């Protein structure tokens, strides 16, 4: 992170060719939208909660690398007729229940101004956000409530921030920030189609710059790359490279004269289904370790976003409109116009063998499975029945999913949200899934075919409002790489999404309402919550809660790593939305000033217990169970990689801990302070 913070060339970014096409400049355009932006904290519990991205039973959090945030933008017409809410959430995915709760909170305050028709929640898809906010076997009510509260607060603050302003658009390629991890599947697409494109990934970043009379208030960008720089070896909660880029862009922008102190930078996700940031294509790279890789991939996105913040100059001009709907994809008739193979239909959702094999390039699969499996194996089916106890699989379901050999079907599937919005000459396609590069291109073409010149720019906003696996092209699906094995509705999944996006785009173009689809289900109140924390905290044998267990060195040079440890209890006994864990402070004119927290990626906090370790993932053990919480005292170790440009001086660490006594006594929280240490220039 020290190189990241010292990377200053962006402050003198050269403005490249202006992306106008006969449009007036930013200085000439008048405010034509109501715009507002804000952030909210959605940081998870940090110990004894499983991560959701790799779905490995022993991939359990034991600390924090960065906090998790929700970043909200509201774009409305000046007369208040229509407005759209777009939120990026640093989570693996979002859920229908989160969106329902957020909308209910907004309607309690603002009436019918906000609804399921105009509130969009999009996940960045970081694989280092823990599970527990979705209504499944990992559900933890306190975490769900924290996510809902953080997103609600972001939207409410953005609403209160609404003022007239302009939105300027820019596009530029991001180099060496993603590679196609499924080249063999991409190559199955028609030669003529592939010849239309220079690359096998979408390298272009699209950025919106939000500008008002009081300054630039934010930037919202879309770029397609999986946040898997932090692999399943990482055990720290983190927003990965997109979160690092967001934090750093906000830090830099807030020092500029033309931005507000509350500048918001969101790096949203797009069609990254087959795009990895692990550039070595072996679950590593380009850095020396996971955290260095996350920094580098984040920095490469940041470089382009900062340049676009300078260069974006084409004003969005036109109204705000949208069409969102819930669609039942479990047995949807799909017409020849989208399949090219006569009328077809989708299937009740099921996972394939290749799903269990995982993406070789991003790791995490079971060795009994591999990408490209096209034949059933009776011994595998027997093992799956023993371990998973899936619903019965009919011959009809197998035939519908062919050539995918079914691993197991889902037990149920509610209707899924899809949508199209138009902000002036920009169209945004909302899908709840991970579209591959070519699938995303076909979805964009579908919208262009309907909206024509009105949609000069089209972006895919993936992971919106729910989650439903992957979207591959039928050609990619046919060879069953990981992405095809995780395409849930069968070979005609993409044509089905194209058909529904086409329907919504036509309604948008015609100004007509959309027909009502089946309502999505609501699992709130129907799933039992798991506990957070432990029963009580045993006092440490070698000290007291809040005491230092390892002192920092007296002196550190910039670029070095400071480390200090404290005795504490289970951090999640005191979990609440927005609760802080630690901060690094510098003495300035007899006042202590915070210079780093667990937000910015230069710090790490790791909680350990001497008699328990989290075992490494054993892919040969299908019965592996996550370790259960124990009551032994924790040692929290706080590491700070001191930036190269850190100001020398006297520093200290403040830790916010807790103790849960045995016998039901009230939880005690405390602040502990490290001895001071000096930071010097090398």
Tens digit of each residue's pLDDT (9 = 90 or more) over 636-665: 999 999 999 999 999 999 999 999 999 989
Q: How far is CA 638 from CA 2, 395, 459, 531, 606, in A?
A: 16, 56, 40, 26, 7
Q: Rounded to whole angstroms, how far apart are CA atoms 464 and 508?
A: 19
Residue 24 has pLDDT above 50, yes or no: no
Report angle CA 252, 253, 254 to the nearest 5 degrees: 95
Residue 672's closest CA among 579, 532, 597, 565?
Answer: 565
Q: What is the pLDDT of residue 366?
A: 84
Residue 10 has pLDDT above 50, yes or no: no
Other beta carbons within 10 Å of 636: 24
Residue 627's closest CA among 47, 44, 141?
Answer: 47
Q: What is the pLDDT of residue 387?
A: 81
Question: Which of the following CATH numbers is that of domain 548-680: 3.30.460.20, 2.60.40.2300, 2.30.29.30, 2.60.120.260?
Answer: 2.60.40.2300
Residue 18 has pLDDT above 90, yes or no: no
Q: What is the pLDDT of residue 518?
A: 66
Q: What is the pLDDT of residue 367?
A: 83
Tens digit of each residue's pLDDT (9 = 90 or more) over 373-405: 999 999 999 988 888 888 889 999 999 999 999
Across 174-214, where does the E strand assignment appear? 179-180, 204-212
Query: For strand 603-608 and strand 634-641, is the pairing parallel, antiparallel, or unpaired?
Result: antiparallel
**Would you say 306 and 13 are in contact if contact means Cβ atoms under 8 Å apart?**
yes
Q: Which of 202-211, 565-574, 619-628 has the lowest mean pLDDT?
A: 619-628
The mean of the pLDDT values for the chain is 93
Q: Rounded to whole angstroms, how far apart are CA atoms 481 and 478?
A: 9
Residue 618 has pLDDT above 90, yes or no: no
**Would you say 665 and 25 are in contact if contact means Cβ atoms under 8 Å apart?**
no
Tens digit of each residue's pLDDT (9 = 90 or more) over 48-68: 999 988 878 788 999 999 999
Residue 147's closest CA among 129, 170, 162?
Answer: 129
**Would you say 317 and 23 are in contact if contact means Cβ atoms under 8 Å apart?**
yes
Other beta carbons within 10 Å of 100: 16
Tens digit of each residue's pLDDT (9 = 90 or more) over 504-552: 999 999 999 997 666 788 999 999 999 999 999 999 998 999 999 999 9
Q: Rounded to whole angstroms, how far apart are CA atoms 48 and 492?
A: 40
Residue 182 has pLDDT above 90, yes or no: yes
pLDDT above 90 coverage of the chain, percent? 86
Taking residues 160-169, what's their average pLDDT?
98
Question: Under the phi-then-psi rule, with left for phi > 0, alpha for psi from -120 to 50, and beta for the rest, what region is 135?
Answer: beta
Residue 79 has pLDDT above 50, yes or no: yes
Q: What is the pLDDT of residue 364?
A: 73
Q: Rounded to whole angstroms, how far apart are CA atoms 507 and 245?
A: 37
Tens digit of each residue's pLDDT (9 = 90 or more) over 196-251: 999 999 999 999 999 999 999 999 999 999 999 999 999 999 999 999 999 999 99
Taking residues 84-95, what's their average pLDDT?
98
Q: What is the pLDDT of residue 306?
A: 98
Domain layout of the chain by residue ranges: 29-327+414-510, 548-680
Taking residues 335-353, what's their average pLDDT?
98
Give the three-class secondary structure for 534. Answer: coil
Give me the DSSP letters along 106-150. Answer: HHHHHGGGS-TTTEEEEE---TTSBS-SSSSTT--HHHHHHHHHH
Tens digit of each residue's pLDDT (9 = 90 or more) over 477-514: 999 999 999 999 999 999 999 999 999 999 999 999 99
Taking residues 346-364, what's their average pLDDT?
93
Give me the DSSP letters along 411-473. Answer: S----EEEEEEEETTEEEEE-SSEE-HHHHHHHHHHHHHHHGGG-SEEEEE-SBSS---EE--
Q: Rounded to whole angstroms, how far apart are CA atoms 595 and 411?
A: 49
Q: Which of 382-386, 437-441, 620-624 has the lowest mean pLDDT?
A: 620-624
Residue 129 has pLDDT above 70, yes or no: yes
């Amino acid at each position: 992170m020290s190189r990241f913070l010292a990377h200053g060339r962006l402050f003198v970014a050269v403005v490249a060719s202006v992306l106008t096409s006969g449009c007036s400049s930013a200085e000439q355009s008048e405010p034509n939208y109501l715009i507002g932006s804000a952030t909210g904290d959605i940081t998870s519990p940090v110990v004894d909660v499983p991560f959701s991205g790799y779905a490995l039973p022993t991939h359990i959090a034991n600390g924090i690398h960065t906090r998790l945030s929700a970043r909200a933008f509201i774009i409305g017409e000046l007369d208040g007729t229509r407005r759209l809410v777009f939120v990026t959430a640093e989570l693996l995915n979002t859920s229908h229940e989160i969106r329902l709760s957020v909308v209910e909170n907004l309607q309690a305050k603002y009436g019918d101004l906000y609804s399921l028709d105009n509130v969009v929640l999009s996940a960045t898809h970081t694989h280092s956000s823990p599970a527990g906010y979705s209504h499944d076997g990992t559900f933890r009510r306190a975490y769900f409530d924290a996510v809902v509260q953080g997103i609600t607060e972001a939207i409410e603050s953005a609403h209160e921030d609404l003022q007239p302003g302009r939105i300027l658009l820019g596009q530029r390629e991001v180099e060496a920030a993603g590679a196609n991890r499924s080249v063999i599947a991409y190559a199955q697409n028609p030669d003529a189609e592939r010849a239309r494109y220079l690359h096998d990934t979408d390298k272009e970043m699209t950025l919106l710059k939000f500008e008002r009379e009081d300054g630039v208030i934010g930037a919202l960008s879309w770029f397609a790359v999986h946040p898997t720089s932090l692999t399943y070896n990482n055990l720290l909660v983190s927003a990965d490279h997109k979160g690092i880029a967001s934090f750093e862009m906000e830090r830099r922008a807030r020092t500029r004269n033309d931005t507000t102190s509350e500048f918001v930078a969101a790096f949203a996700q797009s069609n990254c289904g087959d795009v990895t940031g692990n550039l070595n294509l072996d679950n590593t790279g380009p850095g020396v370790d996971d955290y260095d890789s996350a920094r580098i991939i984040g920095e490469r996105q940041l470089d382009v976003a900062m340049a676009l913040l300078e260069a974006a100059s084409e004003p969005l001009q036109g109204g705000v409109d949208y069409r969102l709907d819930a669609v039942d994809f479990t047995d949807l008739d799909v017409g020849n116009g989208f399949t090219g193979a006569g009328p077809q239909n989708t299937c009740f959702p099921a996972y394939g063998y290749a799903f269990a094999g995982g993406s070789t390039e991003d790791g995490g699969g079971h060795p009994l499975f591999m990408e490209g499996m096209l034949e059933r194996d009776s011994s595998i089916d027997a093992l799956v029945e023993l371990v998973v106890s899936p619903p019965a699989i009919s011959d009809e379901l197998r035939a519908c999913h062919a050539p995918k050999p079914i691993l197991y079907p889902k037990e149920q599937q509610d209707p899924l949200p899809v949508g199209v919005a138009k902000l002036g000459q920009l169209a945004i396609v909302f899908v709840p899934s991970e579209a591959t590069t070519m699938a995303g291109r076909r979805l964009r073409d579908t919208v262009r075919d309907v909206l024509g010149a009105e949609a000069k720019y089209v972006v895919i906003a993936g992971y919106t409002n729910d989650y439903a696996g992957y979207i591959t092209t039928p050609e990619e699906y046919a060879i069953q790489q990981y992405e095809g094995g995780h395409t849930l509705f069968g070979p005609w999944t993409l044509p089905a999404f194209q058909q529904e996006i086409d329907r919504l785009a036509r309604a948008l173009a015609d100004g007509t309402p959309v027909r009502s689809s089946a309502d999505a289900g609501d699992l709130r109140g129907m799933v039992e919550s798991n506990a957070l924390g432990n029963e009580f905290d045993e006092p440490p044998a070698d000290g007291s809660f809040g005491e230092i267990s390892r002192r920092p060195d007296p002196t550190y040079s910039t670029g070095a790593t400071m480390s200090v440890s404290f005795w504490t209890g289970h951090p999640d006994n005191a979990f609440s939305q927005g609760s802080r864990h630690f901060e690094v402070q510098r003495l300035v004119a007899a006042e202590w000033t915070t210079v780093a927290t667990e937000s910015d990626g230069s710090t790490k906090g790791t909680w350990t217990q001497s008699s328990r370790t989290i075992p490494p993932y054993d892919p040969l053990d299908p019965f592996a169970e996550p370790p259960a919480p124990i009551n032994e005292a924790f040692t929290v170790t706080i590491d700070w990689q001191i930036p190269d440009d850190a100001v020398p001086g006297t520093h200290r660490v403040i830790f916010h801990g807790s103790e849960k006594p045995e016998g039901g006594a009230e939880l005690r929280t405390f602040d502990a302070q490290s001895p001071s240490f000096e930071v010097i220039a090398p």
